Structure formats: C-alpha cells, structure tokens
Amino acid sequence: MTIAGAQAHAFLERASPAVDSTVHAPPKEVRIQFSEALEPDYSTARVEDASGATVSTAARVDARERSVLIVPLRALAPGRYKVIWKVLSVDTHVTSGAFNFTVAP
C-alpha cells in the first residue's frame, strides 16, 4: 500500500494580498495558502516595509484550515512590502520563500 502525496512539500498556492499585486486599501492581515497542512510550531512569516522594518505581528496557522498561514499586520502606509515565509509541512519538509505586494491609495 502506498500513501499518496507522501513526498509532497508545502508550496505556496496563493496569497491575499496576491503575489506582486497592488492593493488600494491597506490589508489587516496576509493570508498564505499552501498545498499541504502546516506544523503550527515550526511555520512562520513576517512582513517588512521598504526599509526592512517588520510591520507584522506573530504569524499563526489557521485552526480551521491548517494549510493557511495568517500574518496580522500593523497599520500600513502606502508603499512596497515584502512577505518572508518559512514553513514545515506535516510531511516534515521545510519550504521557504518571499513575495511582494504594494499598497497604493
């Protein structure tokens, strides 16, 4: 018997705000959807402004949808932001990456 997806990794499937998007209203959080469920104790993300200052608070895995990482944000001014993430999937594989979004009123 084989287990489907046993060699899978948690890859970013989509995000809100979307990768490389421009939004007109500052979001209150970033939601990152991955292809696999995440280990909450070992999955993290932060959001930085153009100067490299962190503008987010502690990320958490959504309790109802364990493949979603939620990153609460402080009030954002117009500008470009970078989301940096590193997650451990329930299959014990670590993946990481980054993407940008812009707030432009």
| pLDDT value of position 91 | 86
Strand order in the sheet with 21-23: 21-23, 94-103, 79-88, 44-48
Predicted confidence (pLDDT) per residue in 41-89, tens digit: 999 999 999 999 999 999 999 999 999 999 999 999 999 999 999 999 9
Evaluate whether residue 7 is within a structural domain.
no
Q: 61-75 in b/e burial notation, b at 16+ Cβ within 10 A?
A: beeeebbbbbbeeee
> Is pLDDT of 9 > 90?
no
pLDDT category at 8 given cuts 50, 70, 90 is: low
Provide the pLDDT confidence category of residue 2 given band limits of 50, 70 and 90.
very low
Q: What is the CATH number of the domain that holds 86?
A: 2.60.40.1220
Query: What total of structural domains would you count in the chain?
Result: 1
Please check whether residue 32 lies inside any domain of the structure: yes
Residue 40 domain flag: yes
Per-residue H/E/C for 12-43: EEEEECCCCEEECCCCCEEEEEECCCECHHHC
Residue 16, domain member (yes or no): yes
